[in-house]
Structures are given as C-alpha cells and as structure tokens.
C-alpha cells in the first residue's frame, strides 16, 4: 500500500499541475522592480508572476513596455519552482515579444480576451513551442453558452491542448461588460457572474481543462476573500490571481489539505480498497471520487497538510460501506 502511494506521488510530480502556480501576481511590464521580483530578490514567496503588457499598461506606454522587456528578459535567473508568464496585449504584440532575446527564460503566456476571433492568431504564433499557455475568457462571448461550447471543443481537439495549464476567468472584464463593479463585502457568487462561472466550469472541465478564479480587488476585506475562495474551490476552480503580494499567503493557505481529505484521497486511489467504503463518516466511492482524490493529492504535493486541521485531531474510521 505504501509503495503504491509513493508511486502515485511520483506520477503527480512529473506533470505540472495548475495548483503549482499558486496565487499568481500580475506585475506591469514597466514596474521599476520587475527584475528583482522575477529573480526572487523581492517578494520571495511568489510562486508565479505574470508580466503584463495589457490592462496594466496604458496605450501610450506599450512600446516602452516592450523595450523594457527586451532589456529585462536576458537578466532573468533560473530559479526552481518560480514561474514567469507574460501577458501580451494582443496577438501582434505576442509575436513581437516572441522575437525578443531571452524569451526562452519565460515559462509561458497568458492570452487576454481569448475567443474564436483571435484564437488562431494566438495559437499559431505559439504552435511548435514548449510554452505553457493560459487563455483568458473575458469577452462578451463568455455570456453565450453556445460560443463557449464551440471554443471549448475546438481547444480540446487542438494539438496544443496539453500546453493549456489553466483557463483563466476575467471577472472584472466580465463585470465591466455588464456595467458593474462588485460592491465591497460581496463575493462574485453573489453577482450575475455566479451562473456564468458555473456554466464555464460545466463546459470546460468535462473536456479536461482546469479553470482559475478571478481576482478579489479589495485588500482590507479578508473575511469576504476567505468566503470567495471557499466558493471558488467548491466550484472546482484552481488557484486565484492576487492583486497584491499581501493576498498571496491569504489565498494559498486555503489550498493546504486536511488530514481527513488526504487520507480519503489516498484510500480512494489505493487499488486494494473496495469499490465503496466508509471513512471519516463519509461514503467513499472509487468510481465517482477518483478525480477529486487526484486533485487533493496535487494540492497536498504543492501545499502540504492543513496544520489547523491536524491540531483538532481526527479519528480515522475505515470500514466497508455496508
């Protein structure tokens, strides 16, 4: 039993999980400390940074941001478990960035305003590369379930599917299309986006894609952020973008795994267990809980065990579910 568990953990480490990206931090391409952040000299606990040439850069500064990237990219150091992505402004800017010296030091790209109109331009620019990609759904097409189904199927059938580590949901852009900004103290799931997020999850996840959660834009409201992250996870979303370094530990603390869930996940994936059994006073069914169990072990590999849950002390009743 122990050998099988170790083997499964080794399998998980071979393929990068979306959970490994943690709470990515967007940093404008013109930020004065861009290199220090990228090289972990500042804010060392960041797992993933996204260097932005889109919303975080004014139209007049696009050329300046590209020149800054030209100087910046060759100076990036290789650091284990630190990942850097670039968000180009559009497909044309992506093509220019791909020609910059040092671009091989980047892990991948966040593709903004991704839809059927620009899909081919983005993917053809990256086809044949080893870059990871994160398309962002944030245009009016998102409100059209047929358009989303068409896009999801086209991506599932594309040879580049394996390079799509996450599909991002652009919450603020979608609210902007509705003429809305979320009020303080309100989660996204208390806005019109609640049904939209559910629809995206049920459209993309069955085709093998993971989706990530939109930002929470208020820094001082920890209670609402906590509530929203719990709802993100209940919807099966993987990771949440941070708008400030202070949010990163606040977000990532939710991703550690309880002792109960860890034990149940290991048991569900253990071939020696019966098809249905009782554990921690819950029904565990191999055929319907295996995907959940794999997600739990991916989170455990990245974030470990929830120490608070360990302090409470759990019993581990295990028996046939008869």
Mean local confidence (pLDDT), 304-313? 66
> Once rounded to an integer, what is the mean pLDDT over residues 240-251?
96
Q: What integer best gives the mean pLDDT of the chain? A: 91
> What is the edge-to-edge ordering of all strands in the sheet holding 276-279?
282-285, 276-279, 318-320
pLDDT at 307: 76
Position 312 scores a pLDDT of 42
CA–CA dist 232, 214 (Å, integer): 9
Residue 165: is its pLDDT beyond 50? yes
**Whether the Cβ atoms of residue 114 and residue 79 lie closer than 8 Å to each other:** no
Please write the tens of the pLDDT for every residue from 91-135: 999 999 999 999 999 999 999 999 999 999 999 999 999 999 999
Show me where the domains of the chain are located.
15-254, 259-320
What token pair was written down for 3?
């050998």
3-state secondary structure of 134: strand
CA angle 302, 306, 312 (to 5 degrees): 165
The pLDDT confidence band at residue 309, using thresholds 50, 70 and 90, is low
Superfamily of domain 15-254: Phosphoenolpyruvate-binding domains (3.20.20.60)
Inform me whether the pLDDT recorded for 260 exceeds 70: yes
pLDDT in tens, 176-194: 999 999 999 999 999 999 9
Contact 84/38 with Cβ under 8 angstroms? Answer: yes
- When mean pLDDT is compared across 56-65, 151-160, 264-273, 312-321, the lowest value belongs to 312-321
pLDDT tops 70 at residue 7? no
pLDDT surpassing 70 at residue 4: no
Query: Does pLDDT of 322 surpass 50?
Result: no
| pLDDT, position 287 | 95
CA proximity to 228, closest of 268, 297, 182, 262: 182
pLDDT band at 10 (very low <50, low <70, confident <90, very high): very low
Q: How confident is the model at residue 1 (pLDDT cuts 50, 70, 90)?
A: very low
Residue 315: band (very low, low, confident or very high) from pLDDT cuts 50, 70, 90? very low
With CA atoms as reference, report the closest residue to 263 among 236, 288, 296: 296
**What is the structure's pLDDT at 269?**
97
């Amino acid at each position: 039993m122990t050998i099988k568990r170790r083997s499964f953990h080794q399998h998980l480490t071979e393929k990068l999980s979306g959970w490994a990206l943690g709470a990515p931090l967007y940093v404008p391409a013109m930020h004065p400390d861009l290199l220090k952040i990228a090289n972990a000299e500042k804010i060392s606990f960041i797992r993933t940074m996204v260097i932005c040439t889109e919303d975080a850069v004014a139209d007049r500064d696009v050329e300046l941001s590209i020149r800054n990237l030209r100087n910046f990219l060759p100076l990036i150091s290789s650091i284990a478990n630190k990942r850097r992505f670039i968000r180009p402004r559009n497909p044309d800017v992506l093509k220019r960035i791909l020609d910059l010296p040092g671009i091989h030091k980047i892990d991948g790209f966040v593709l903004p305003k991704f839809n059927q109109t620009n899909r081919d331009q983005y993917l053809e620019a990256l086809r044949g590369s080893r870059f990871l990609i994160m398309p962002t759904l944030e245009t009016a097409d998102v409100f059209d379930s047929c358009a989303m189904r068409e896009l999801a199927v086209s991506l599932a059938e594309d040879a580049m599917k394996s390079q799509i580590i996450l599909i991002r949901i652009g919450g603020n852009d979608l609210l902007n299309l509705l003429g809305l900004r979320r009020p303080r103290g309100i989660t996204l799931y208390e806005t019109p986006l609640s049904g939209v997020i559910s629809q995206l999850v049920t459209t993309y996840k069955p085709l093998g894609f993971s989706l990530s959660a939109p930002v929470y834009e208020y820094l001082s409201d920890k209670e609402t952020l906590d509530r929203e992250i719990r709802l993100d996870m209940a919807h099966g979303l993987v990771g949440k973008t941070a708008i400030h370094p202070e949010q990163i530990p606040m977000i990532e603390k939710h991703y550690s795994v309880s002792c109960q869930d860890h034990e149940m996940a290991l048991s569900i994936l253990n071939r020696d267990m019966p098809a249905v059994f009782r554990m921690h006073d819950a029904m565990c069914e191999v055929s319907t809980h295996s995907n959940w169990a794999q997600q739990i072990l991916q989170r455990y590999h990245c974030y470990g065990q929830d120490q608070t849950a360990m302090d409470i002390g759990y019993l581990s009743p295990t028996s046939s579910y008869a």
